[in-house]
């Protein structure tokens, strides 16, 4: 294929992808206008901008890349707490996204239809629009429900047949008992009873023969129908397969540009380009692979002079390979022979974000964690690896990392060869059912409530000499329900940095499920990755195990790590209400902090002159000097200006929030929606 033709096709593909990112960003901006304090929305828009920047770089569209870089910088200020969201800010970022959208139409002209060459055999190939092909695939996948329903009907017939056999045996026992009776009060009555039983037995035998025949026919129909459904699905899946090279063909240009920008010498090796996998999987893997290649070029490969000093070739090497694995999976590896991951830097970056504990390699995937000393156009914002993990979780895959100092790093991504079905464990929570993907489940266990012990503020139990964290699934999903008896059962789910036990009310067993996506409106629902339809027609949510583990870890960080980090922290609580003041003092002391109280702003200023505090937590509406005034005076005093201030108040309207931020408050928590975990998180983040 000529270079010009290839670039035309590549840019056309980029246009489609870019429009999807723009739609997602506009949706997020609209939500942000309604909820300016929602950090998750900011994070979502930021990631879309980051992904679009990476895609534009891959096709060398520098103008769009620069626009995305500016948009990223604006959102980064919000993420870091250096700016706040105002109507003007919303208007500005909406305009930036609009400018990017306006650049798309002029990128490439649609190729003219030239018809099919005369020498080409039209039977060999036919052009089918992808959306139509996907529609056919969707219909074909729906035929799997028919197969599942047929299997259930077959099981029901089997159950009926067994029940009739049981009744036939019971009636035979009754007949034998009647025959054994020697002293019957009336032989005529016994004869009539026996004849009635014989008639019932004949009817049962007839029903049994009919059920047996129906079962045989149903089994045959099920086998034939299942074979046809499986064959149809397999044929259509093959139509959706594309070689890995269709994705990797843009990587050489990407690496060349990265090497030129960073002043490094980098070679790229691609293996497994001829292996075909589902086009939908390839589309989802595009952003993660671009992020990993960019990370390898920026963080991994050293400069030529450094490499020579270490006895390495001046040119670094990045390898991207794909191999087929068992159980319908493929492994994609991205390796470099660079300096490896600086685990100490990862730990330090995590600690700055208030994230403690866990394996350093797993912490790399937390949003905001970056080992880069500066933000560049290539990397440094700490969002790339978070996107990688999120995409992998969406596909039902996983990622692992291996690294060695001055030898390099390898990321291994396990993804499904195709999308449609997988096996899951069905569990019950209160009166609801959920599906847990089997590849996330390590084992099923039973234990007693007395087996649970408290360790650093979290519930754990011992299994094989290891402490495993425990959380009830209904608590993580915020579903009501009783406590039940002392007997517990759980699914142990595996993570790269350990395991976690999810307690459930009931385990129904394992079965194959047909995956249905939630649609664009529900594309990112916390703790839910999709839905499935059971054989009886019941719609069951599929749980996002990664989200659940993060939710549980967040709870742990409030109850456990807060206490570990709080010992040396001294907090000044300013509140005129004695009830609220006492409550706040007790909450913070239960978290392990040292607390002193003040009755208003003037009293607080006097305390600040006498003692040293790590943070001030203050009410707003107080006599003599309110919270806004106190914050302003702290910021105006050179000896106090660096002390963080958290305002906790019943004044929740945007004007009061803006007034607090303008006065210099670092965080603003509304009492009507007060959650002590929010307060602990704010204190951890600011101290």
Q: Which residue has the higher pLDDT, 275 or 373?
A: 275
pLDDT at 254 over 90: no
Strands 241-243 and 432-437: unpaired
pLDDT at 522: 47
pLDDT at 654 over 60: yes
Residues 6 or more apart whose Cβ sits within 8 Å of residue 195: none
- Report helix, strand or coil for 76: helix
Contact 378, 384 (CB under 8 A): no
Q: Could you count the other beta carbons within 10 Å of the beta carbon of residue 329?
A: 16
Question: What CATH number matches the domain at 570-686, 3.90.226.10, 3.40.50.2300, 3.30.10.20, 2.30.30.140?
Answer: 3.40.50.2300
Q: What does the pLDDT look like over 155-202, one tens digit per residue? A: 777 777 777 777 777 777 776 766 665 555 566 666 766 777 777 777
pLDDT at 566: 47
pLDDT at 269: 92
Work out the pLDDT band at 265, boundaries 50, 70, 90.
Answer: very high
Residues 6 or more apart whose Cβ sits within 8 Å of residue 73: 375
Topology adopted by domain 1-103: 1.20.120
Average pLDDT of the residues of the chain: 76
DSSP letters, 632-654, are: HHHHH-TTTTTS-EEEEES--SH
Q: Could you count the other beta carbons within 10 Å of the beta carbon of residue 60?
A: 15
Contact 250, 282 (CB under 8 A): no
Quick one: CATH architecture of 421-559?
Beta Barrel (2.40)
pLDDT at 312 over 90: yes
The token pair that represents 478 in the structure block: 């915020």
Q: What does the pLDDT look like over 358-383, one tens digit per residue? A: 566 666 776 555 555 444 443 443 45
pLDDT at 115 over 80: no
Residue 5 has, within 13 A of its CA and on its CB side, a CA count of 3
Residues 6 or more apart whose Cβ sits within 8 Å of residue 467: 455, 460, 461
Least trusted range by pLDDT, from 281-290, 368-377, 383-392, 460-469: 368-377
* Buried/exposed code over 549-572 (b: 16+ C-beta within 10 A; e: otherwise): bebbbebbbbbbbbbebbeebebb
DSSP-derived letter for residue 57 is H
The token pair that represents 422 in the structure block: 């997988």
CA angle, 570 as apex, 568 and 575 as ends, to 5°?
155
Calculate mean pLDDT across residues 320-343: 88
DSSP-derived letter for residue 118 is T
Q: Which residue has the higher pLDDT, 257 or 362?
A: 257
Work out the pLDDT band at 118, boundaries 50, 70, 90.
Answer: very low
Instruction: Give the span between the Cα atoms of 118 and 128, in whole angstroms.
Output: 20
pLDDT at 110 over 50: no
Domain boundaries 263-416, corresponding CATH code: 3.30.565.10
pLDDT at 108: 53
pLDDT at 668 over 60: yes
Residue 643 has, within 13 A of its CA and on its CB side, a CA count of 29
Is the sign of the CA dihedral 505, 511, 514, 515 positive or negative?
Answer: positive
Instruction: Give the span between the Cα atoms of 320 and 292, in whole angstroms.
Output: 10
- Residue 15 dihedral angles phi and psi, to the nearest 5°: -60, -45
pLDDT at 594: 85
Calculate mean pLDDT across residues 571-584: 77
pLDDT at 117 over 50: no
Phi-psi region of 594 (alpha: psi -120 to 50; beta: other; left: phi over 0): beta
Q: Return the beta strands (E) in 337-407 as ranges.
A: 398-404
CA distances (Å), 249 to each of 58, 245, 260, 278, 391, in order? 10, 5, 19, 17, 21
Calculate mean pLDDT across residues 498-516: 80
Calculate mean pLDDT across residues 211-226: 71
Q: What does the pLDDT look like over 412-425, one tens digit per residue? A: 998 888 776 677 88
Instruction: Give the span between the Cα atoms of 55 and 64, in whole angstroms.
Output: 10
Residues 6 or more apart whose Cβ sits within 8 Å of residue 213: none
Instruction: Give the span between the Cα atoms of 493 and 434, in whole angstroms.
Output: 15
Question: What percentage of the chain carries pLDDT values higher than 90?
Answer: 11
Least trusted range by pLDDT, from 82-96, 108-122, 592-606, 671-685: 108-122
Residues 6 or more apart whose Cβ sits within 8 Å of residue 432: 479
User: What is the pTM (predicted TM-score) of this model?
Assistant: 0.50
């Amino acid at each position: 294929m000529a270079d010009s033709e290839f670039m035309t096709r590549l840019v056309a593909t980029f246009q489609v992808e870019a429009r999807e990112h723009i739609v997602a960003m506009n949706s997020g901006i609209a939500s942000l206008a309604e909820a300016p304090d929602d950090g998750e929305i900011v994070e979502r828009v930021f990631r879309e901008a980051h992904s679009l920047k990476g895609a534009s770089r891959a096709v060398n569209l520098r103008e769009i890349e620069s626009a995305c870089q500016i948009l990223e910088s604006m959102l980064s200020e919000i993420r870091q707490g250096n700016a706040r969201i105002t109507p003007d800010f919303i208007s500005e970022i909406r305009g930036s996204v609009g400018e990017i959208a306006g650049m798309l139409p002029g990128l490439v002209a649609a190729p003219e239809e030239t018809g099919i060459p005369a020498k080409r055999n039209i039977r060999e190939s036919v052009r089918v629009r992808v959306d139509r092909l996907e529609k056919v695939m969707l219909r074909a996948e729906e035929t799997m429900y028919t197969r599942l329903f047929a299997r259930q009907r077959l099981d029901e017939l089997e159950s009926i047949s067994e029940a009739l056999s049981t009744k036939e045996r019971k009636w035979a026992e009754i007949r034998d008992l009647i025959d054994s009776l020697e002293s019957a009060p009336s032989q005529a009555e016994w004869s009539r009873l026996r004849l009635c039983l014989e008639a019932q037995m004949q009817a049962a035998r007839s029903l049994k023969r009919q059920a047996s025949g129906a079962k045989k026919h149903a089994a045959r129909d099920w086998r034939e129908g299942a074979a046809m459904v499986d064959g149809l699905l397999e044929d259509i899946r093959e139509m959706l397969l594309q070689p890995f090279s269709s994705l990797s063909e843009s990587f050489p240009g990407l690496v060349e540009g990265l090497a030129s920008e960073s002043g490094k010498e980098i070679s790229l090796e691609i293996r497994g380009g001829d292996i075909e996998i589902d086009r939908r999987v390839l589309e989802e893997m595009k952003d993660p692979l671009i992020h990993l290649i960019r990370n390898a070029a920026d963080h991994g490969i050293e400069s030529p002079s450094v490499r020579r000093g270490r006895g390495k070739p001046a040119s670094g090497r990045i390898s991207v390979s794909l191999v087929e694995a068992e159980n319908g999976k493929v492994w994609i590896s991205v390796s470099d022979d660079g300096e490896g991951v600086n685990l100490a830097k990862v730990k330090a970056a995590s600690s700055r974000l208030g994230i403690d504990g866990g394996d350093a390699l797993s912490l790399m995937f937390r949003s905001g964690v970056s080992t880069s000393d500066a933000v560049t156009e290539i990397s440094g914002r700490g969002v790339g690896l978070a996107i990688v993990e999120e995409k992998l979780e969406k596909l039902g895959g996983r990622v692992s990392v291996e690294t060695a100092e001055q030898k390099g790093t390898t990321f291994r991504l396990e993804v499904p060869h195709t999308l449609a079905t997988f096996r899951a464990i069905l569990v019950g929570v209160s009166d609801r059912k959920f599906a847990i993907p089997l590849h996330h489940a390590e084992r099923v266990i039973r234990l007693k409530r007395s087996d649970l012990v408290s360790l650093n503020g979290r519930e754990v139990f011992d299994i094989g000499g290891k402490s495993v964290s425990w959380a009830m699934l209904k608590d993580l999903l915020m579903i009501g329900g009783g406590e039940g008896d002392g007997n517990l059962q759980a699914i142990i789910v595996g993570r790269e940095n350990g395991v976690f036990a999810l307690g459930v009310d009931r385990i129904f067993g394992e079965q194959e499920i047909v995956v249905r996506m939630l649609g664009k409106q529900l594309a990112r629902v916390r703790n839910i990755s999709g839905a499935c339809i059971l054989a009886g027609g019941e719609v069951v949510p599929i749980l996002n195990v990664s989200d659940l583990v993060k939710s549980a870890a967040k709870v742990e960080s409030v109850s456990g790590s807060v206490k570990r980090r709080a010992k040396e922290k001294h907090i000044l609580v300013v509140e005129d209400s004695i009830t609220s003041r006492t409550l706040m003092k007790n909450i913070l002391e239960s978290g392990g902090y040292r607390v002193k109280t003040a009755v208003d702003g003037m009293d607080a200023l006097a305390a600040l002159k006498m003692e040293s505090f790590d943070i001030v937590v203050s009410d707003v509406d107080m006599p003599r000097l309110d919270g806004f005034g106190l914050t302003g005076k702290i910021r105006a005093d050179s000896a106090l200006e660096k002390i963080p201030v958290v305002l906790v108040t019943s004044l929740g309207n945007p004007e009061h929030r803006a007034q607090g931020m303008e006065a210099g408050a670092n965080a603003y928590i509304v009492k009507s929606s007060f959650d002590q975990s929010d307060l602990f998180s704010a204190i951890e983040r600011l101290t």
